[in-house]
Amino acid sequence: MNSQVYLDYNATVPALPEVISAVARAMEKCGNASSVHTMGRQVRKLVEDARENLAALVGAKPAQVIFTGGGSEANNMALNCTCREAILVSAIEHVSVLNAIGNTRPVSVDRDGVLDLQALEFALSLTNKPALVSVMLANNETGVIQPVADVARVAKEHGAIVHCDAIQALGKISVDWRELNVDFLSLSAHKIGGPQGVGALIVNENIPLDPFMKGGGQERGRRAGTENVAGIAGFGEAAKSAGATIDFQSEIKVWRNKIENEIKSIAPAAQIFGGSADRLPNTSCISMPCVSSETQLINFDLADIMVSAGSACSSGKVQASHVLTAMGVKEDASRTIRISLGAGNSENDADKFISVWRDMYAKSATSTAA
């Protein structure tokens, strides 16, 4: 029996069985999706079926879906290919947004990590160039949900277009293209149990978008390169299953809240960052007094519990989080871990985490007292 406890769903979601089967079936087919012969049309159908499934999941039209090589590529495409001279981003964005282009201007967030709409409006009022505003729907480290529809309203009042990184939110909360009222929406397959290495950008067809990769005319001329048919087929299958995953989040939230309540009772000085804001139901960003993030990761790993110290896209590095820094967190930023639960977890997993956390904190408290 596998005793490992995986609490790193925000880093990647284990591939769903139906996704693995869909990828395998796609790989058994021979053909290039751009070929007009029978075998080419067969694999083209897999791509277009996946496009329809993903569009249906977020309330968009299939023609608006551009498949990419991942969520980071989708973010880069939105920021680099819309020909906007001013790029305003929230200070807590994923690094694939913050580092996508050289002239991004960060907009501040409050202590809970929620974008300051007044700061955004002020920044836009000082901008006399065509602007793009980029804000994530849910933060990958804290789970804090942003007021994206309000951001879009403010931005469009100032003539700006809007990009939303919804990668972490998809499959955990409802993501509706029409309600968000944005112009570009980034998504990723492996965050909903699909394959790694495939993503999508949902686009406003009325806004020009230069090709991100040049070559062939794939993805309506916006992303050259032979389509990753197997990966795209897996993404489409994962999109079909995402609704059931969302339905399970209410139970996951109960386990997440149990963990947080127990930790606060064990160590009142422990911090739950973003805990006062609207958050994803599966995510908790927790500090342990006097114990570094690295020490916690090692001890949890030795106990067969998989957690992280922040974004997995900074893999191999345990350092102060730019997200927590933007929220005004100082010393506790280096003592923080992220747990993120998913459909494969149980209440027993939450209990095991609490037990290991309690023992680690008790040893630290004893050592400090000595």
**Taking the domains of the chain in order of start, what are their residue ranges?**
5-13+247-363, 17-241
| Size of the chain in residues | 370
For residue 314, the model assigns a pLDDT of 52
Determine which of 175-184, 211-220, 245-254, 300-309 has the lowest per-residue pLDDT on average.
211-220
Q: Is 313 a residue of the active site?
A: yes
What's the whole-model pTM score?
0.94
pLDDT at 214 over 90: no
What is residue 332's predicted lDDT score, i.e. its pLDDT?
86
Query: How confident is the model at residue 217, as a pLDDT?
Result: 81
Residue-wise pLDDT tens digits, 11-49: 999 999 999 999 999 999 988 888 889 888 889 999 999
Which of 173-187, 291-305, 312-326 bottoms out in mean pLDDT, i.e. has the lowest? 312-326
CATH 3.40.50.300 for domain 17-241: no
pLDDT in tens, 110-163: 999 999 999 999 999 999 899 999 999 999 999 999 999 999 999 999 999 999
Q: How many CB atoms lie within 10 A of CB 302?
A: 9
Say which CATH topology domain 5-13+247-363 has. Aspartate Aminotransferase, domain 1 (3.90.1150)
Position with higher pLDDT, 269 vs 367: 269
Taking phi first (over 0 means left), then psi (-120 to 50 degrees means alpha), and beta for anything else, what does residue 116 get?
A: beta
Q: How sure is the predictor about 1, in pLDDT bands with cuts at 50, 70 and 90? A: very low
Residue 237's CB is within 10 A of a number of other CB atoms, namely: 27
DSSP string, 289-342: TT--HHHHHHHHHHTTEE-BSS-GGGTT-----HHHHHTT--GGGGGEEEEE--
> What does the pLDDT read at residue 366?
75
The residue with tokens 């009042």 is 157
- pLDDT averaged over every residue in the chain: 93
Band of pLDDT at residue 318, cut at 50, 70 and 90:
low
Whether the pLDDT of residue 93 is over 50: the answer is yes
Q: Which value, in Å, is the radius of gyration of the alpha carbons in the chain? A: 21
The C-alpha torsion from 94 through 99 and 101 to 107, rounded to 10°, is 60
Quick one: which H or E segment has residue 67?
Answer: strand 65-68
Q: What's the pLDDT at 312?
A: 52
Confidence of residue 245 (pLDDT cuts 50, 70, 90): confident
Residue 339's nearest CA partner among 281, 277, 265 is 281
Q: Check pLDDT > 70 for residue 369.
A: no
Whether residue 340 contacts residue 9, with contact meaning beta carbons closer than 8 Å, is answered with yes
pLDDT tens per residue across span 340-352:
999 999 999 999 9
